[in-house]
Amino acid sequence: MNHNNSMAIYWRRISKNKMAAIGAFIVLFIVIIALLAPVISPYEPDAQDLYSSLNGPSKEHWFGTDIYGRDILSRVIWGARISLSISSLAVFLSILIGVFLGAIAAYFGGVLDEIIMRFFDILLSFPDILLAIAIIAILGSGRSNLITAITIYSIPQFARIARSTVVSEKTKEYVDAARLSGESEMNILFRYVLPNSLSPIIVQGTLRIGYAILIISGLGFLGLGIQPPAAEWGTDLSIARTYLRAAPHTGIFPGIAIFITVMGFNFFGDGLNEILNPRMKDR
Amino acid sequence: MERILEVKDLKIQFDTEEGTVYALENVSFHLNKGEILGIIGETGSGKSVTASAINRILPVPPARIVNGEIIFQGKDVLQYKREEMNRIRGKKISMIFQEPMTALNPVFKIKEQMSDVIMHHQKINRKKAVKQATEMLEQVRIPDPEMVLDKYPHELSGGMRQRVMIATALSCEADLLIADEPTTALDVTTQDQILALIQDMRKNLDISVILITHDFGVVAEICDTVAVMYGGSVVEFTDIYTLTKKPYHPYSNGLLKAIPPVDQTIEKLNTIPGSVPNLLKPPPGCRFHPRCENALEKCKIDPPSLTEIEENHFIACYNPIKGGEDNE
Amino acid sequence: MNNTILKTQDLRKEFQVRVGFLQKERKITAVDNVNLNILQSETIGLVGESGCGKTTLGRILAGLLSPTSGRFFYKEKEITEIGKKKNKQIRREIQMVFQDPFSSLNPRMTVSDILSRPLKVFKIGKNAKERTNMVLETLESVGMKSEHMSRYPHEFSGGQRQRIAVARSLIVNPDFIILDEPTSALDVSVQAQILNLLLDIKNNFQLTMLLITHDLSVARFQCDRIAVMYMGRIVEISDKEALFNSPAHPYTRILLTSIPRTDPAQRREKAVSTGEVPSLLNPPSGCYFAPRCPLKMDICERSAPELKRVNKHQTCACFAVENKR
Which of A9, A179, A181, A183 best probes binding to C when mutated, by most C CB atoms within 10 angstroms? A181
Return the pLDDT at C94: 92
Return the pLDDT at C45: 95
C-chain residues near B187 (CB < 8 A):
49-50, 214, 277
Helix spans in chain C (H): 54-61, 88-93, 111-121, 128-141, 158-170, 188-205, 216-222, 240-245, 250-258, 298-302, 319-324
Return the pLDDT at A283: 30
Is position B273 within any domain? yes
Give the whole-angstrom CA distance, residue A221 versus residue A234. Answer: 5
Output phi, psi for C313, to 5 deg: -105, -10
Domains of chain A, residue spans: 3-276
Please enumerate residues of A whose Cβ is less than 8 A from a Cβ of C.
Answer: 1-3, 6, 172-174, 176-183, 192, 195-196
Return the pLDDT at A102: 93
Closest-CA residue of chain C to A174: C104
Contact A182 C91 (CB under 8 A): yes
Q: CB-based contact (8 Å) between C308 and chain A?
A: no
How close does chain C come to B78, measured CA to CA in Å?
Answer: 31
Question: What does the DSSP 8-state code read for residue A190?
Answer: I
Contact C244 B263 (CB under 8 A): yes
B-chain residues near A281 (CB < 8 A):
none
| Helix, strand, coil % in chain B, rounded to nearest 5 | 35, 25, 40
Return the pLDDT at C325: 63
Q: CB-based contact (8 Å) between B276 and chain C?
A: yes
Give the whole-angstrom CA distance, residue C284 versus residue C290. Answer: 8
Return the pLDDT at A259: 93
What CATH number does the domain containing B236 carry? Answer: 3.40.50.300
Q: CB-based contact (8 Å) between A28 and chain B?
A: no
Considering only the beta carbons, identify the residue of A2, A174, A178 that sits closest to C103.
A174
How close does chain C come to A106, measured CA to CA in Å?
Answer: 18
Concatenated DSSP letters for A117-171? HHHHHHHHTS-HHHHHHHHHHHH-SSHHHHHHHHHHHHHHHHHHHHHHHHHHHTT
Considering only the beta carbons, identify the residue of C94, C98, C151 that sits closest to A176.
C98
pLDDT, tens only, C274-317 = 777 777 888 888 899 998 888 888 899 889 899 999 899 999 99
Contact B216 C262 (CB under 8 A): yes
**One-letter amino acid of B298:** K
How close does chain C come to B233, measured CA to CA in Å?
Answer: 17
Split into its structural domains, chain B has a count of: 1
Contact C261 B221 (CB under 8 A): yes
Contact A13 B17 (CB under 8 A): yes
Q: CB-based contact (8 Å) between B102 and chain C?
A: no
Q: CB-based contact (8 Å) between C169 and chain A?
A: yes
Return the pLDDT at A97: 95
Contact B18 A16 (CB under 8 A): no
A-chain residues near B18 (CB < 8 A):
9
Contact B18 A9 (CB under 8 A): yes
A257 pLDDT more than 50: yes
Residue B254's closest CA among B234, B238, B269?
B269
A-chain residues near C92 (CB < 8 A):
182
Least confident of B142-156, C37-51, C179-193: B142-156
What lies within 8 Å, CB to CB, of C92 at 6+ separation is A182, C118, C122, C172, C173, C174
Which of C59, C86, C99, C106 best probes binding to A when mutated, by most A CB atoms within 10 angstroms? C106
Output phi, psi for B82, to 5 deg: -55, -45
Contact C273 B195 (CB under 8 A): no
The pairing of beta strand B176-180 with beta strand B19-32: unpaired
Output A275 or B212, whichever has higher pLDDT: B212
Give the whole-angstrom CA distance, residue C316 versus residue C246. Answer: 12
How close does chain B come to A19, measured CA to CA in Å?
Answer: 18
Contact C106 A178 (CB under 8 A): yes
B-chain residues near C255 (CB < 8 A):
188-189
The neighbour count for residue C277, using CB atoms within 10 Å, is 21
Output C159 or C84, whichever has higher pLDDT: C159
Is position B253 within any domain? yes
C-chain residues near B214 (CB < 8 A):
187-188
User: Measured in Å, how far apart are chain A's first and last C-alpha atoms?
Assistant: 22
Mean pLDDT of chain A: 86
Return the pLDDT at C184: 87
C-chain residues near B263 (CB < 8 A):
244, 261
C-chain residues near A2 (CB < 8 A):
151, 155
Closest-CA residue of chain B to C245: B263
Considering only the beta carbons, identify the residue of A1, A2, A196 that sits closest to C108.
A196
What lies within 8 Å, CB to CB, of A207 at 6+ separation is A265, A266, A269, A270
Whether complex ipTM tops 0.95: no
Q: What is the arithmetic mean of pLDDT over A211-240?
A: 87
Give the whole-angstrom CA distance, residue B324 versus residue B316. Answer: 14
Contact C157 B216 (CB under 8 A): no
Contact B159 C240 (CB under 8 A): no
Query: CATH homologous superfamily for A3-276?
Result: MetI-like (1.10.3720.10)
Coil, strand, or helix at residue A256?
A: helix
Return the pLDDT at A28: 93
Give the residue numbers spanning the domain of B294. 3-92+174-315
Return the pLDDT at B38: 94
Residue C157 burial class via C-beta count within 10 angstroms: exposed 0-12, middle 13-18, buried 19 and up: middle
Subunits touching A (CB < 8 Å, at least 3 pairs)? B, C
Is position B141 within any domain? no
Closest-CA residue of chain A to B62: A282
Preceding omega of A229 cis (within 30 degrees of 0): yes
Q: CB-based contact (8 Å) between C152 and chain A?
A: yes
B-chain residues near A16 (CB < 8 A):
17
Residue A144 burial class via C-beta count within 10 angstroms: exposed 0-12, middle 13-18, buried 19 and up: exposed
Contact B270 C192 (CB under 8 A): yes
C-chain residues near B270 (CB < 8 A):
192
Q: CB-based contact (8 Å) between A16 and chain B?
A: yes
How close does chain C come to A120, measured CA to CA in Å?
Answer: 25
Contact C64 A183 (CB under 8 A): no
Residue A218's closest CA among A124, A156, A153?
A153
CB B107 within 8 A of CB B92: no
Contact C262 B265 (CB under 8 A): no
Return the pLDDT at A3: 47
User: Going residue by residue through chain B (328 aa), what tens digit of pLDDT does each one get?
Assistant: 788 899 999 999 988 877 888 989 889 999 998 899 999 998 888 888 898 888 888 887 788 888 898 998 888 888 888 888 888 887 788 888 877 777 788 888 888 888 888 887 777 888 888 888 888 888 777 878 888 888 888 888 778 888 888 888 877 778 898 988 888 877 888 888 888 888 888 888 888 999 999 999 899 989 999 999 999 999 999 999 999 888 999 999 999 989 998 888 888 888 888 888 888 888 898 999 999 988 888 899 888 989 888 888 999 999 888 755 554 4
Return the pLDDT at C125: 85
Q: CB-based contact (8 Å) between C55 and chain A?
A: no
Question: What does the DSSP 8-state code read for residue C143?
Answer: T
Contact A182 C122 (CB under 8 A): yes
- CB crowding C219-249: b at 16 or more within 10 Å, else e: bbbbbebbbbbbbbbbbbbbbbebbbeebbb
pLDDT, tens only, A152-210 = 989 999 999 999 999 999 888 999 999 998 888 899 999 899 988 888 999 999 999 99
Q: What is the arithmetic mean of pLDDT over A12-37?
A: 85
- Cα–chain center distance at A2: 33
How close does chain A come to C155, measured CA to CA in Å?
Answer: 5
Contact A179 C169 (CB under 8 A): no
Q: CB-based contact (8 Å) between C106 and chain A?
A: yes
Return the pLDDT at A2: 44
Considering only the beta carbons, identify the residue of C106, C118, C155 that sits closest to A192.
C106
pLDDT, tens only, C87-110 = 778 889 999 999 988 889 998 899
